[in-house]
Amino acid sequence: MVTFDGKKARKVKRDLPSSRNKPFFITTAIDYPSSKPHLGHAYEKICADTIARFQRLIGKDVYFSTGTDEHGLKIQRAAGKAGKTPKEFVDEMVVYFKELCRVLNISYNDFIRTTEKRHIRVAQDIFRLLHKKGLIYKGEYEGLYCVDCESFYLRKDLAEDRCPVHKKPPETIREESYFFRMGKFQKELKNALKKGLVEPEGKGLEILNRLKEDLKDLSVSRSSIAWGIPVPIDKKHTQYVWLDALLNYISTLGWPSGKFRRYWPADIHLIGKDIVWHHSVIWGSILMGSGIPLPRKVFVHGFVNLSGQKLSKARGIIVDPIGLCRKYGTDSLRYFLLREIPFGEDGDFSEDALVTRNNDELADTLGNLVHRILSFIYSKNKGTVPKPGKYDKLDKKLKLKIETTMERAGTLLEDLQLHKALEEILGLAKAGNEYFQAKEPWKGDFDNCLYLGANLVRSLAILLSPYIPESSRKILKSLNTKLGSWESARKLLVKPGHKIRKPEPLFRKLELEEAPQERKKIKVGVEKGCQDLGIKARAALLYGLKVKKKKGSLEKLKKEQLKGMRINQKRIGDYLGIYKKLGLKGTGHPIPKMYKIIKNTGKLPTINTVVDSYNLVAVRESLSVGAHDLDRIEGNIRFKVTDGSEKYTPLGGSEPKKIRKGEYACTDSKGKRIICRLDIKQCEGTRITPSTRNVFLYVQGNRKTPDSLLKKALKEICENITKFCGGECMVL
């Protein structure tokens, strides 16, 4: 690969030429067409498409497969509800998934459906093979079954007796079934996981931890579900969906012959984090039992969240990706998801953030650069690329930047760091704007600037083509040239005398269209137990905010106000006195911790414009302050002493946890969910995110805190937030 030494790229080993025409097989999970696709489906396909397009650019013979998983109880029930046969139902729904691929510009080689004859043949042949080897036997199964997951759960794996993914109670199913001896492959699976079968590493470790317990055999047939592939040795049964759907990754290749011989094993098997077990343990053991090699890599991407909650058809948390493409443009959506979400982690979606990325980076940085260079060539040099003279320092610096960006971005894409590679490429566009501005071609000496500029535009079109293919095509059309290989992006192949076409604006500035919303209102109460402790609170509701990571004017205010700041130790002591009275030993207050950070670093941590706005006042006045996403609060707010039955999901967590009896907390959901513990610990469910528009804010004091101070602090915080985030405030 490539290492980097200072500003210069040093070629250590180049494997791109030798990779030419090597097979590369990438798959996505196949989608369940029980309803129309959501943004999560789009994200996985966009990521896979970006990888596939890059691999083609470096010369690989790429095969990219996606499709739909069309059998099972959930489909059977959805079809019945719609008054259709299951086949009629899936035939209608699959149209939406194929349309999604078309709109998103997904360059798949095959879209496989599990109702196709070619797939059914493979599924039945694998069943026969496993049975012939003695790996399938008949028995009886009883278990807790989530229809939406098409999965069984142990009671210990449920969250409050509900499916941890879909939050619904499972059904108890008992029936005759055929079983696959999955437990036989536990040791081999562990070895494969230890060697890095699943990435990122943490996801592989999660599966390894689950494999510390004995691996049970898998029920692989159903006698109660008619909508499925018939078991070839017993027509009373249909194949369980996970011994059907998973086989699409080899049926798409025509196993055991045809394309299978060239492309298997899959180089990258791309899946979401809620199905890692199925695609590593179940799929892996089926492959081992069938004598088929495992994929080279199972890569797990994160969820696309909306206000912190996973997109889910079953739970009604849906964003229509086709509608977004029509509204904002396909490449704007592709760019946003790939730039905003670190590959392998969760990320939040908001239309506001999409508009900001489009306007600041695609329109202002990339679009502006391309249009400036090509328009200058077209208008000032009759559309002809000039012949350069001797390079000066700025010219050499830009030429080197083009080369190193190709190297760095290529290395990052090979390592599946899609977001970091895109950041590198955007850095080249920013450098191009700085170069153009510094060279001042409008003063007359423009030969070098326009020659290197034309080649820079070509390089950017190539490097960005895996991410925003349609925009790259438009750039190359204006430049009057064709897409080259990834390696060619480092070369100056636009020669003097080359004629370009009249350029057109590449990206339009977008505006966020926000539908008017009814203002949510809540009541705030302090229960007797907290009143007896002297706890009191002042609260406000803020509407129509635009939350950002940081704002220059806020950073300036933070810097100014931190000079000479001290905390009120007596006021902190009043809070600690309550903890002591409740017998909560070793519990500290957040303000001294925050103050210590300020003393050590000289600055207040940057979280977002809402939290930073209130932290300024909270530290200076030594007060407890909380802010929560108003739209994610359920019911009214209560300050109460806990009885131990409340549920609390800590910041960054995914599962609710019980807490000690005798703490005090800020709660919603009729006092059953804790949104903040002891002034200290924010819950995950109501945290402030870039998608937050409306906020519940409170300043909390104790018996010795003057009411006038709470009122004054609340007013100042509200003024800060509306100043830096916009919106309006209503004091309760």
CB 199 within 8 A of CB 297: yes
User: Could you tell me the two tokens for 476?
Assistant: 């190359």
User: Could you tell me the two tokens for 454?
Assistant: 């034309």
Q: Is 149 a catalytic residue?
A: yes
Is the omega angle on the peptide bond into residue 388 within 30 degrees of 0, that is, cis?
no
Pick the catalytic residue from 71, 74, 119, 166.
Answer: 166
528 Cβ partners below 8 Å, 6+ apart? none
Pick the catalytic residue from 313, 474, 546, 558.
Answer: 313
The DSSP code sequence of 712-732 is HHHHHHHHHHHHHH--EEEE-
Nearest to 651 by CA among 600, 607, 606: 607
Q: What are phi and psi of 281, to 5 degrees?
A: -80, -55
Pick the catalytic residue from 269, 310, 401, 546.
Answer: 310
Q: Is 146 a catalytic residue?
A: yes
Helix axes 418-439, 330-340, angle to 10 degrees: 110
Q: How far apart are CA 129 and CA 136, in angstroms?
A: 9
Q: How far apart are CA 126 and CA 287, in angstroms?
A: 9
Pick the catalytic residue from 71, 119, 131, 149.
Answer: 149
Pick the catalytic residue from 146, 530, 666, 718.
Answer: 146
Q: In what order do the strands lie in the sheet with 136-146?
A: 151-153, 136-146, 171-180, 218-219
Q: How far apart are CA 555 and CA 562, in angstroms?
A: 11
Helices (H), 58-116: 73-81, 86-104
637-641 and 2-5 as β-strands: parallel, antiparallel, unpaired?
unpaired
Amino acid (1-letter code) at residue 179: F
Amino acid (1-letter code) at residue 505: P
- Neighbour tally for 323: CB within 10 Å: 11
Q: Determine the length of the chain.
A: 732
Nearest to 53 by CA among 425, 347, 478, 418: 418
Is the omega angle on the peptide bond into residue 265 within 30 degrees of 0, that is, cis?
yes
What's the start-to-end Cα distance of the chain, in Å?
60
Three-state DSSP class for residue 678:
coil
Q: How far apart are CA 564 and CA 440, in angstroms?
A: 45
> In Å, how far are 60, 182, 456 from 257, measured between CA atoms?
21, 26, 45
Q: How far apart are CA 385 and CA 45, in angstroms?
A: 38
Q: Is 166 a catalytic residue?
A: yes
CB 228 within 8 A of CB 71: yes
Nearest to 357 by CA among 405, 436, 422: 422
Pick the catalytic residue from 47, 60, 131, 163.
Answer: 163
H or E element that contains 8: strand 8-11
* Four-CA torsion 457, 462, 466, 469, nearest 10 degrees: 60
Q: How far apart are CA 658 and CA 679, in angstroms?
A: 17
Q: Is 41 a catalytic residue?
A: yes
**Residue positions annotated with a catalytic role:** 38, 41, 146, 149, 163, 166, 310, 313
